[in-house]
Amino acid sequence: MKSINTELYKQIAEKIKSAIKEKNVTQEQIASKLNISAQQFQAYINKFDKNKIPLDYLIEIANFLNISPEYFYKKNQNIIPSASCISESQADDLSLDKSKYQTIPVYSFAGAGKFVNLTEIEPIDTLLVPKEFIKKKLAVVKVIGPSMEPYIKDGSYVGIDLNYKELVSGYIYCVNLDYEGALIKYVIKDRNGITLKSENPKFHDIFIKKEEIADGDHFVIGRVVWVWQNI
């Protein structure tokens, strides 16, 4: 029988491989970031029973991939689940069982300026969302722009849990800035404030001081909990 530690490191190794593939980076890039050889890194993820990856390396990998370190330890946690949504017209064409779906309005923040409230914005469309992806307070937003590509493509739809206001470093949120409007970004926290990061390296980071957040100049609309897009 395998030990709990062996099973845990197997899970960590598989999740590292999955994250690398999903983030479209190479093992060599990760090894370089850790300042180790590619062979040593491969030993950590392929021979995990004999080569247990150190915790500080996991934190470095998580920071490099812009994800939370807890992703590696939680068995059922995905980086961002992919929802199999469908348009109303597609549902009719496919004779889909609509009882398994719920019709949700789709919003767009493009050109909306300062975000106020979803109830004050007209929906641009509707989407049939599988009921298992429905949250008590869910907003579906169409992403406009390439700042989160290739992870979240321009024109994709994201599900935002409006009840999830607590900022956890490494996750993707919809955040409102007075001078930018609503943005979909990674959130990285430190003692001085938060950094909003894009996936696309062509876009600069946005740093927000802790006192500015406390003053209410910025606020969290919700956390991105799934994405629907053409791969």
Domains of the chain, each with CATH number or no CATH: 4-72 (1.10.260.40), 88-228 (2.10.109.10)
pTM score, whole prediction? 0.59
CA separation for the pair 20, 28 (Å, rounded): 11
Q: Does residue 93 register a pLDDT over 70? A: no
Angle between helices 55-65 and 4-23 (to 10 degrees): 20
Give the pLDDT confidence score for residue 63 in this predicted structure.
76
The sign one gets for the Cα dihedral 218, 219, 225, 226 is negative
Is residue 68's pLDDT more than 70?
A: no
Per-residue pLDDT tens over the stretch 191-213:
888 889 888 889 999 898 877 77
Q: Across residues 25-40, what is the average pLDDT? A: 92
Report the pLDDT value the prediction gives residue 215, as an integer from 0 to 100.
47
Q: 65 pLDDT exceeds 70? A: yes
